[in-house]
Chain A
Amino acid sequence: MRIEVNGTPRDITATTLADALAELGWADARVATALNGDFVPSSARAGQALRDGDRLEVLAPMQGG
């Protein structure tokens, strides 16, 4: 299916958020996730199904003021 990851269209085979993160190379990364604008805690990623057209945000620590 095709989802949008951080604003970029990506074709993935994973059907859950946890599997998608692994497929995208963020299996062990320190990241926080939001799906279609809502926060998804890391504990809920394995049970979070993905659907075609979903918008996934994967955020990491960054510089800030």
Chain B
Amino acid sequence: MRDFYGVTLPNALMLGTAQYPSPAVLADAFRESRAGVATVSLRREAGQGQAFWSLIRDLGVRVLPNTAGCHSAREAVTTARMARELFQTDWIKLEVIGHTDTLQPDPFGLLEAATVLCAEGFQVFPYTTEDQVLAARLLDAGCRVLMPWGAPIGSGLGLNNRHGLRMLRAAFPDVPMVIDAGLGLPSHAADAMEMGFDAVLLNSAVAQAGDPVAMARAFALAVQAGALARDADPMGVRDMGVPSTPLIGKAWL
């Protein structure tokens, strides 16, 4: 498994902390998911922030703060600076949203913010599309990890553009990549791992399931299965049927 800015994760799952029915379910889901990374955000302190922080600290996992909801490079850069102080980490999941309906990244704002933050020593996890040109520019700016989307955030559609993602994976074979956003089912996560991605990041698929704790376990198993399958070198695909049972020795009946 490729490492993320020098950090090798215990497994390939990163899990969000939003939208759970209760803090207890969040903690149970994390335990079942065996996720090594929790994504968090910063919001105006209205009395719940301090308790939430102690809950996250008790999970004992690495924290990946995000710049969710930022629509400009300036907003995202300021948020990242605040996150670094608040969470005491150089890691930042950089989101610069370009479209309110699709929550698609704004490639121009993303590159601008990534350039500033990389120069300031941040270890940037850019939420990006499968666009190879943008990927190259982000790497040039200093990003050492890419986080291409599977589908729009919260949509549960899975891998919307498998061809584009496969091309991106092949174009930058040494770059650690996380499929971030849009996954709905464990099979989507297994698919991403089979395609050679290094991890998946999800939130709604677990938090919005009828039983988040069971779904967290399902994703843990799927990610493990997908990684195992990738390392086992899958067979090639054929258009025609090929018998698997030997023809030699078949009885003349």
Question: Which residues of A are in contact with B by a Cβ distance under 8 Å?
Answer: 6-7, 26, 29-34, 37-39, 41-42, 57-65
Contact = CB atoms under 8 A, between A and B. Distances in A.
B44 A63 contact: no
B172 interface: no
Interface in B43-95: 43-46, 48-50, 52-53, 56, 65-66, 68, 74, 78, 81-83, 85-87
Given A6-B45, A60-B45, A60-B53, A65 B204 contact: yes
Task: Give the size category of B's interface with A.
Answer: 20 to 34
Interface of B: 16-20, 39-46, 48-50, 52-53, 56, 65-66, 68, 74, 78, 81-83, 85-87, 153-154, 203-204
Contacts of A42: 85
A57 B87 CA distance: 17
Contact of B78 (A31, A38, A58): A38
A38 to B, nearest CB: 7
Contacts of B50: 29-30, 60
Ranked 7 nearest A-B pairs via Cβ: A60-B49, A64-B41, A65-B16, A65-B203, A32-B82, A60-B45, A62-B43
Contacts of B46: 6
Contacts, number: 97
A20 to B, nearest CB: 13
A64 B74 contact: no
B66 to A, nearest CB: 5
Given A31-B86, A34-B82, A39-B78, A61 B44 contact: no
Nearest to A29: B50
A22 B87 CA distance: 21
Most chain A CB neighbours (cut-off 10 Å) among B19, B56, B83, B86: B86
